[in-house]
Amino acid sequence: MKQKLNCVLLIDDDEPTNYFSRMILERCECTEKVALTQGGEAALRYLEAPTPPCPELIFLDINMPAMNGWEFLDKYRELDDVQKGKIVIVMLTTSLNPDDKDKAAGIPEISGFASKPLTPKKLTEILLKHFPERF
Amino acid sequence: MYNPLLSENPVEAEKLQAENKMLREEIAALKRTDKELRDLFEDISEVLYTIDMIAFKPIYMSSVCEKVYGYEASEFIADPYLWRNVIHPDDQHIPEKQLKDLYAGLQIFNRYRIIHKDGSIRWVENKIIPKVDQNGVLYRIDGVTSDITQAKKTEAELLETGLRYQILFEQNLAGIYRSNHEGRVLDCNLAFANMLGYDSTASFKEIKAAEHYFHLTGRQKFLADIHAHQNMDNYDVMLKHKNGSIVHVIENVFISTDPNTGEKYYDGIVIDVTKKRIAEQVLEQSRKRLEDAELLGDMGHWHWDLTTNRFHSSTGNLRLLGLDPGSSNESIEKMFEKVFPEDLPMINQAITTIMETGQIENLQFRFIRPDGSIRHLVTTSKLTKNEKGEPISMFGINFDITRIKLTEDKLHQSETSLEAKNAELQLKNKELEQFAYITSHDLQEPIRTVASFAELLQEQLGTDNDPATKKYFDFIFSSIDRMKKLISDLLDYSRIGRKTSVQEVDCNTILNEVIADLGAAITESGTQIQASALPLINGHPTEIKQLFQNLIMNAIKFRKKDIAPVIQISADKKADAWVFSVKDNGIGIEPQHRDRVFVIFQRLHTRTEYEGTGIGLAHCKKIVELHGGNIWLESEFGTGTIFLFTLKNQYP
């Protein structure tokens, strides 16, 4: 491992899921910081903070109350480039619906699609694929 | 007595005898001459007469008088007044007026009518020579009378004929003209001048014949045609009115030649047919328009002559029936041969109806075109009767409704398949509900097992020393609770309307039950419920109660932090349904979420903010739809929400 990620953002309304994902990330010691948000709107507020935190990796759930994963992506697209940063977005979901996977493949902002729960193996694959020079 | 013949002087006597002889001979000669003259007079056709003007009676009438007057000369001699009485009473003044000329010794000449003995009226001409003595006294007249009846008649006839021709020429409605080869109109009547807009024949004749034609080459064509045929009947020409418009005429024209000079004339009789031509054009336009209209409307008209049993079709009708123009006048039997056989009895029935009622409307039948294709037609027909009230013909219009028919058939097919699909869908829906019921029921078993063994594990491990272990057990038990709630909600949802029956439900009673059941929550939150009088409806009592309960619970749950909930419940009667409203003063719902809230498992808040499975409003929607109603909401974000739903008066 050459250089840790500075920040990973988790977007999921289910508290146990976020807790579990954070545990995996922390055990792998791949990031300086893990940010937790319980929905799309909270995540947008986080990204729009006066000093943009610019996470390098986002794990995004699909089914969330009020603003789901798709709606979050619509709003994310409208952000300033500074707020968007160079972010890799991976959908992390329990959805068994193949339509969701097809839909995700058609959205340029989405770099990957993984099923819950997050495991060290899945995390390693994601890091090697999207940040090869750093892991 | 002195007798020269007995003279003693023999010389004297001889001389006398000689003289006597000579005299006798002269007398004989005279007598002979007189006789010859008389005979001569009798031979000539004029009546010669002499009247003694002193005695005022005829002394001589030649026997021709019998021919002229019908009376013999002796009758004139015997009746001194006859010669005057034969004069026609109206004409007696003619000779009487001339008497003074006669007395003055002047010859007179006159014509008058006489009445023949047979009563007929004749014309005579008189020449009278008066004889006056040395004292100037008229003592005799000699006259010649000739019968001029025939001449007079011929003259009258001639006069009349000429007059008649003049009248014919001048008063004729037809135009009459004579033109020559140089193109001059030599003569014409006023009718012809008027026909082309001229006031007088003179002004008309000033214009060269060629200029009266509408087309520049009209005159040339006319000359070519007339010389080719010598005479032409009903020759069509377009002439030019003085104002420039077309005057359609037909003319009969022939060439006549002057026997002396050999010059050729064109004599013509012209009739103005402009109105007729225009009427023909209008008629033609109307016919064309009717044909176009029939083409546009996929229709045609027909006429069945009941006296001849011929069936006449318009062009449009022929097109509908797929027949060629040769069938525009066809026998009725031939037409019936082409009607779809199954429809013939109906057509016969229709004919009977028309004969009785005079009319039939929108009769549908099928017709087989010569190419074998079947067309669906609809006909409306009317009967025509003569003045005696006997039916003489039928008139009707046909529409081709084949396309409409085919569309109807397709529609019918798709309706049928739609019904089948609907039934299938209902079956699938039932199956799905059954599936949800069974699965949710069966899911309870493993979750109970997980819960039981997690509790055992917690007892064995204990959670006092390790906060992480405690956290994990918290997550496990909250997830188990959530799973149990989800399963039970799903079970309830799939059970809606499954067991209960429809009965009369008093919504006021239901509401009171709900308020009693929710007593703790209401008291705890300080909720105030204001309800107006609610109706009696037909419905599922358990579900209606669930509906009110969910809505009231929602209003309490999504209240504003520091404001006690106020819930207003009312119902308005509309045409065939009651519109209920449940109004709160809670947090409200943003416009973009108004449809989403009714979808199962859709939530607007995290569970940390508001507990729930996201099934309550989906439940309400299913209940309302079970009763044939709708549910929707009106809301101002931050001010409150009104849930509105309809329940039918008469359900089901």
Contact B471 A19 (CB under 8 A): yes
Query: A134 CA to chain B: closest CA distance, Å?
Result: 31
Cβ B204 vs Cβ B196: under 8 Å: yes
Query: A65 CA to chain B: closest CA distance, Å?
Result: 4
Q: How far apart are CA B329 and CA B323, in angstroms?
A: 11
Cβ B368 vs Cβ B338: under 8 Å: yes
Give strand pairing partners of B632. B644
Q: How far apart are CA B140 and CA A30, in angstroms?
A: 182
Contact B606 A39 (CB under 8 A): yes
Tell me what the mean pLDDT of segment B451-476 comes to.
87
Q: Which of B587, B526, B531 is nearest to B560 (CA)?
A: B587
In chain A, what is the greatest distance between 2 CA atoms, to the nearest angstrom? 39
Q: Which of B242, B252, B235, B237 is nearest to B195 (CA)?
A: B242
Find the helix or strand (DSSP H, E) in which B82 lies: helix B82-85
Reduced to 3 states (helix: H, G, I; strand: E, B; else coil), residue B459 is helix
Contact B475 A16 (CB under 8 A): yes
Query: B323 CA to chain A: closest CA distance, Å?
Result: 60
Of B471, B475, B604, the CB nearest to A65: B604
Tell me what the mean pLDDT of segment B585-592 comes to.
90
Which pLDDT value is given to residue B600? 82
Cβ A65 vs Cβ A45: under 8 Å: no
Q: Is the peptide bond before B652 cis (omega within 30 degrees of 0)?
A: yes
What's the token pair of residue B649?
Answer: 């008066």
First to last CA, chain A: 5
Residue A2 vs residue B267, higher pLDDT: B267
Query: A128 CA to chain B: closest CA distance, Å?
Result: 30
Average pLDDT over chain B reads 87
Q: Above 60 in pLDDT, residue B229? A: yes
Residues 26-65 of B with CB under 8 A from A: none
**pLDDT band of B1, cuts 50, 70, 90:** very low
Q: How far apart are CA B495 and CA B175, in angstroms?
A: 104
Query: Who's near B587: CB < 8 A, 6+ residues apart?
Result: B558, B559, B560, B637, B638
Q: How far apart are CA B504 and CA B647, in angstroms?
A: 13
Q: How confident is the model over B615-640, as pLDDT tens digits?
A: 889 999 999 998 889 999 998 888 89
Q: How far apart are CA B255 and CA B373, in angstroms?
A: 62
Q: How far apart are CA B569 and CA B585, in angstroms?
A: 12
Q: Which of B277, B278, B224 is nearest to B253 (CA)?
A: B224
What's the token pair of residue A71?
Answer: 């709606």
Cβ B577 vs Cβ B629: under 8 Å: yes
Q: How confident is the model over A76-110, as pLDDT tens digits?
A: 999 888 777 788 999 998 876 778 888 888 888 89
Among B139-148, B260-269, B461-470, B542-551, the least confident range: B461-470
Which pLDDT value is given to residue A1? 63
Q: Is B602 on the interface with A (CB under 8 A)?
A: yes
Find the helix or strand (DSSP H, E) in which B164 lies: helix B149-171
Of A15, A19, A66, the CB nearest to B608: A15
Query: Who's near B564: CB < 8 A, 6+ residues apart?
Result: B525, B526, B527, B528
What's the token pair of residue A28?
Answer: 């792998």
Give strand pairing partners of A31. A5
Q: Above 60 in pLDDT, residue B651? A: no
Q: How far apart are CA A109 and CA A88, in angstroms?
A: 8
Give strand pairing partners of B121. B115
> How many A/B residue pairs have CB atoms within 8 Å?
23
Q: Which of B490, B478, B475, B386 is nearest to B437 (CA)?
A: B490
Interface residue of B470, B597, B601, B606 to substitute, partner A, most A CBs within 10 Å: B606
Q: How confident is the model over B484-514, as pLDDT tens digits?
A: 888 888 888 887 877 778 888 999 999 999 9
Phi, psi of B594 (to 5 degrees): -65, -30
Of A16, A19, A38, the CB nearest to B606: A38
Q: What is the DSSP letter of B390?
A: -
- Check residue B628 and give left, alpha or beta (phi > 0: left; psi -120 to 50: alpha): left
Q: How far is CA B87 from CA A90, B124, B127, B532, in A?
A: 150, 10, 15, 133
Q: Is A61 on the interface with B (CB under 8 A)?
A: no
Q: Is B111 on the interface with A (CB under 8 A)?
A: no
Q: Above 60 in pLDDT, residue B246? A: yes
Q: Above 80 in pLDDT, residue B30? A: no
Which residue type, as a one-letter code, is found at position B199? D
Phi, psi of B492 (to 5 degrees): -60, -45
Contacts of A16 in chain B (CB under 8 A): 475, 478-479
Helix then strand count (H, E) for chain B reads 20, 23
Burial B537-553 (b: 16+ CB within 10 A, else e): bebbbbbbbbbbbbbbb
Q: How far apart are CA A46 and CA A35, in angstroms?
A: 9
Helix residue spans in B526-636 (DSSP H): 541-557, 616-626
Of B475, B479, B603, the CB nearest to A65: B603
Which pLDDT value is given to residue B42? 62
Residue B378: Cβ within 10 Å count: 17
Query: A13 CA to chain B: closest CA distance, Å?
Result: 6
Q: Above 60 in pLDDT, residue B4? A: no
Q: Above 60 in pLDDT, residue B6? A: no
Q: Is B593 on the interface with A (CB under 8 A)?
A: yes
Query: Who's near B143: CB < 8 A, 6+ residues apart?
Result: B47, B48, B49, B50, B51, B126, B127, B128, B129
Q: How many residues does chain B have?
A: 652
Query: Who's near B361: CB < 8 A, 6+ residues apart?
Result: B380
Write down the ipTM of this complex.
0.78
Which residue type, as a one-letter code, is found at position A117? P
User: In this structure, what is the dihedral angle of CA atoms B503, B508, B512, B515, given to the nearest 10 degrees?
Assistant: 100
Q: Is A66 on the interface with B (CB under 8 A)?
A: yes
Q: How many residues does chain A have?
A: 135
Of A16, A19, A66, the CB nearest to B604: A66
Helix residue spans in B196-331 (DSSP H): 201-206, 218-229, 274-296, 315-321
**pLDDT band of B595, cuts 50, 70, 90:** confident
Q: How far apart are CA B316 and CA B298, in angstroms?
A: 8
Return the half-sphere exposure (C-beta side, CA atoms, 13 A cut-off) of residue B282. Answer: 6
Reduced to 3 states (helix: H, G, I; strand: E, B; else coil), residue B107 is coil
